[in-house]
């Protein structure tokens, strides 16, 4: 069975500060891992995905995530937060197109 846990339902950082959103997964098979972003009143859009190639994955808008098998983690980072990064972020793990499990989400707030 697969599962994903996002640590922290709400994270607040200052503009220009490091963003770190945590995600841990459980999977009995090599996982596919995703980060999606949801802006208010919109659907989800893909930030980045890990599909067993490079362990450091670069996504859109300056975000990146590192796959650490030993820690079963896929944390999302961005060196310098921007006001436009305020949104909800979802980590997801999947073994097939029809079996993608989403985490409960982390709401990111940016302080001026």
Distances (CA, A) of 60 to 23, 45, 47, 78: 18, 10, 6, 10
* Nearest distance from C-beta of residue 32 to another protein, angstroms: 4
Q: Which residue, chain included where needed, has tokens 């599909």?
A: 51
Confirm or reject binding of residue 99 to another protein (CB under 8 A): yes
Residues ≥6 apart with Cβ < 8 Å to 46: 34, 35, 36, 59, 60
* Nearest distance from C-beta of residue 101 to another protein, angstroms: 8
Q: Rounded to the nearest 5°, which phi and psi values hold at 78? A: -150, 130
* Nearest distance from C-beta of residue 83 to another protein, angstroms: 23
Shorter beta-carbon distance to another protein: residue 9 or 12:
9
* Nearest distance from C-beta of residue 62 to another protein, angstroms: 19
Confirm or reject binding of residue 26 to another protein (CB under 8 A): no
73 token code pair: 């983690």
110 token code pair: 């940016």
Find the binder of another protein among 11, 19, 23, 44 (CB under 8 A).
44
Binding residues vs another protein (CB under 8 A): 9, 32, 34, 41-46, 49, 51, 90, 94-100, 102-105
């Amino acid at each position: 069975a697969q599962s994903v846990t996002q640590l922290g339902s709400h994270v607040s950082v200052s503009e220009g500060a490091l963003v770190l959103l945590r995600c841990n997964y459980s999977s009995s098979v090599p996982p596919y891992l995703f980060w999606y972003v949801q802006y208010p009143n919109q659907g989800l859009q893909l930030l980045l995905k890990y599909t067993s190639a490079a362990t450091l994955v670069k996504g859109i808008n300056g975000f990146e995530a590192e796959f650490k098998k030993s820690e079963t983690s896929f944390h999302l980072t961005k060196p310098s937060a921007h006001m436009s990064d305020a949104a909800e972020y979802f980590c997801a793990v999947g073994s097939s197109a029809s079996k993608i499990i989403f985490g409960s989400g982390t709401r990111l707030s940016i302080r001026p």
